[in-house]
Amino acid sequence: MPNISGPLVRWFARVGRDLPWRRSRDPYGVWLSEIMLQQTQVERVKDYYTRFLATFPDVHTLAAAREERVLKLWEGLGYYRRARQLHAAAKRIVADHGGVFPRTAAELRSLPGIGRYTAGAIASIAFDAPEPIVEANSRRVLARVAGHDRPLDGPRGEAAIWEIAAAVVPRRAAGRFNQALMDLGALVCTPTRPLCTACPLATRCVAWRTRRTDAIPVPASRRETKRVRETALVIRHGDHVLVERRKPGEWWEGLWDFPRDAAAARGRKLGAVRYTVTHHAIECIVRERAAARRARPTKDRRWVTAAGLATLAMTAPGRRIAALLKPG
């Protein structure tokens, strides 16, 4: 691999993005931003990041918070497992490390929700450790610069791209280098029509020199979308409706939603909500019926009013179903 650090970091100093989490190298903020940025666009993360930090300014306040509160702040960001693991990791940092962030990638990876990428990002950005990172943007840049024309999915593809990342990360200022790599992927080396003539790595890039930017990276094999139908039940008792908490192992674990019943055809149809989760396209028919009596509430089952719904941490489809309700 050619040495790409110099031109890349100089480019970054000129045009790198000014993002809220880049104004400090505090590991807590770096960690929070990296978890939020997994599977969520930068623009969307900005507000969530600022609000979250205002509510839980450090690892101690987060560790002491109730999970419900953490999930509520996360509502709308999706992939709630991230929030639960963030919370669990905060508790571990306080309990096992006295509230001080571990500094090495290996120690960081022992915490819930911190994989190879996130550990590398925290260790390099907050502590300047020469750790490589691979995420969607840097993966594309690295594959193109190296002219790596084999598939990147699967364990083999992953291992190859991590090897390339490890070969290019500099001994010093690795955090700046890694951020520059991500910015180049986001701003210049875009998935389609990369701006090669404006790229600081053009003279070192194999894909550009050999006119193969369209072919690299090699697209991952596509998974087929599965169609699923389900029925959501709005069970009313007076001005209250029944909601349940999603169970461990289910999508949106720990968040509130309306009960599902695959077989239910009874009740008045209120409408339908369509949504996708991973490779599932789900059509959810929403039916409403009155309960003869109010089943006893439990930790994972509650009767709430419309105002009560607004305060719950709800799943994305649950929130859309709630919007279909008329006052009881």
Which H or E run includes 226?
A: strand 226-237
Residue number, 118 or 213, with CB nearest to ligand SF4: 213
Residue number, 183 or 288, with CB nearest to ligand SF4: 183
As given in the structure block, the two tokens for residue 132 are 């490589």
Query: Rule CB under 6 A: is residue 187 a binding residue for ligand SF4?
Result: no
* Nearest distance from C-beta of residue 45 to ligand SF4, angstroms: 24
Residue number, 196 or 270, with CB nearest to ligand SF4: 196
Sole binder of ligand SF4 in the list 93, 145, 152, 180 (CB under 6 A): 145
Q: Which SS3 state, helix, strand or coil, does residue 27 take? A: helix
Query: Rule CB under 6 A: is residue 164 a binding residue for ligand SF4?
Result: no
CA distance 309 to 257: 10
Query: Rule CB under 6 A: is residue 189 a binding residue for ligand SF4?
Result: yes
* Nearest distance from C-beta of residue 170 to ligand SF4, angstroms: 17
Please, which of residues 114-143 interact with ligand SF4 by CB under 6 A? 141
Residue number, 7 or 20, with CB nearest to ligand SF4: 7
CA distance 307 to 119: 41
CA distance 222 to 324: 34
| Residue 324 DSSP symbol | T
Sole binder of ligand SF4 in the list 188, 232, 234, 284 (CB under 6 A): 188
Query: Rule CB under 6 A: is residue 4 a binding residue for ligand SF4?
Result: no
Residue number, 100 or 195, with CB nearest to ligand SF4: 195
Query: Rule CB under 6 A: is residue 173 a binding residue for ligand SF4?
Result: no
| Residue 92 DSSP symbol | H
Q: Which SS3 state, helix, strand or coil, does residue 167 take? A: helix
Query: Rule CB under 6 A: is residue 207 a binding residue for ligand SF4?
Result: yes
Q: Give yes or no for a contact between 265 and 320, defined as CB atoms under 8 angstroms apart.
A: no
| Residue 132 DSSP symbol | -
Residue tagged 């959810």 (tokens):
284
Sole binder of ligand SF4 in the list 84, 139, 144, 319 (CB under 6 A): 144
* Nearest distance from C-beta of residue 74 to ligand SF4, angstroms: 34
Phi, psi at residue 5, to the nearest 5°?
Answer: -60, -50
Please, which of residues 210-229 interact with ligand SF4 by CB under 6 A? 213
Residue number, 88 or 206, with CB nearest to ligand SF4: 206
Query: Rule CB under 6 A: is residue 202 a binding residue for ligand SF4?
Result: yes
Sole binder of ligand SF4 in the list 121, 174, 181, 201 (CB under 6 A): 201
As given in the structure block, the two tokens for residue 123 are 């260790």
Contacting residues for 190 by C-beta, under 8 A, at least 6 apart: none
Please indicate whether residue 34 is annotated as part of the active site: yes
Query: Rule CB under 6 A: is residue 205 a binding residue for ligand SF4?
Result: yes
Sole binder of ligand SF4 in the list 113, 120, 130, 194 (CB under 6 A): 194
CA distance 326 to 237: 13
Q: Give yes or no for a contact between 150 and 159, defined as CB atoms under 8 angstroms apart.
A: no
Contact window for ligand SF4 (CB under 6 A) among 32-40, 60-68, 194-202, 270-278: 194-202
Sign of CA dihedral 83, 88, 89, 94: positive
As given in the structure block, the two tokens for residue 137 are 């943007």
* Nearest distance from C-beta of residue 279 to ligand SF4, angstroms: 29
Of 34, 75, 135, 288, the catalytic one is: 34
CA distance 262 to 230: 5
Phi, psi at residue 150, to the nearest 5°?
Answer: -115, 160
Binding site for ligand SF4 (CB under 6 A): 141, 144-145, 188-189, 194-196, 199, 201-202, 205, 207-208, 213
What are the catalytic residues?
34
